[in-house]
Structure 1
């Protein structure tokens, strides 16, 4: 499946007094990876808006396997899982040095036609066009 990787150095302002990343900051790391994924396919949030669609997140799940620590270098892999009716992205956060898997997550976004303010029951053709242009024919 199509994926990108994003490297992050855990900053001091994301940790508690035990130098462990507060659980809410993981969402920020997923967002950074998701933005890089969308940029890689040429469909950034600005491009989404210009195409007439917004893509709010309607569902998210995070499984914390092992805590991230201050100063740790991590890699976030963002992979396309579904695109026909919604945009589902899977994430794996791993330690950059050891490759140890630390967190798994997914997000689900749906297209909203901004002119009608209605949810689309299929992903707009522009998404598929961007994916094909970036990665070639889609499986399935």
Structure 2
């Protein structure tokens, strides 16, 4: 058994999900997600988190392709990841995500990647996005109405 690392202040707020507001996205580790030893490459977890966030928004009626067509993008401006335990090829897990807050133009999301039986936590993370006008390359001071309405539904 590996020793548990102490929690850092940057990710202390992230613990195992306990409430019903989490969106769940199932994944299975494929060979291309791993390194030569069959262990998941660290960047694969980030890809799964983005997929979960995009699917969460889609489930609320906000399709990322529509945002792009409107000239809007949601780039990551901050990312904090805590790797608790590595995953191996063939394993299944659930990526849980939720919008934790909107602070001005910053949209904060929490993540927990864990075993299907919720007994093992593999990764916890926080991601901060901002809304950017793709044409001007500048931060939008207001969210597009459809995005704002969907995010409000997420926080209820």
User: In structure 2, do the counterparts of structure 1 residues 14 and 75 end up closer, same or farther at CA, with 3 Å as the change threshold?
Assistant: same
| Runs of 4+ in structure 1 over 4 Å off | none
The match for 1:3 among 22, 38, 56 is 22
Structure 2 gaps, min length 5? 1-19
Name the counterpart of 1:110: 130
Matches within 5 A, 1:80-99: 80-83=99-102, 84-99=104-119
TM-score after normalising by structure 1: 0.83
Deviations 1:26-83 (Å, cap 9, x if unpaired)? 1111121111111112112112123331111111111000001111110000111123
Q: Which residue of 2 aligns with 1:17?
A: 36
Q: CA deviation at 1:119?
A: 0.7
CA contact (8 A) 1:73 1:95 kept: yes
Segments of 5+ residues of structure 1 without an aligned counterpart are none
Structure 1 residues 25-104: aligned runs within 5 Å: 25-83=44-102, 84-104=104-124
Q: Number of aligned pairs?
A: 136
Report the TM-score when normalising by structure 2: 0.76
Aligned-pair RMSD on alpha carbons?
2.1
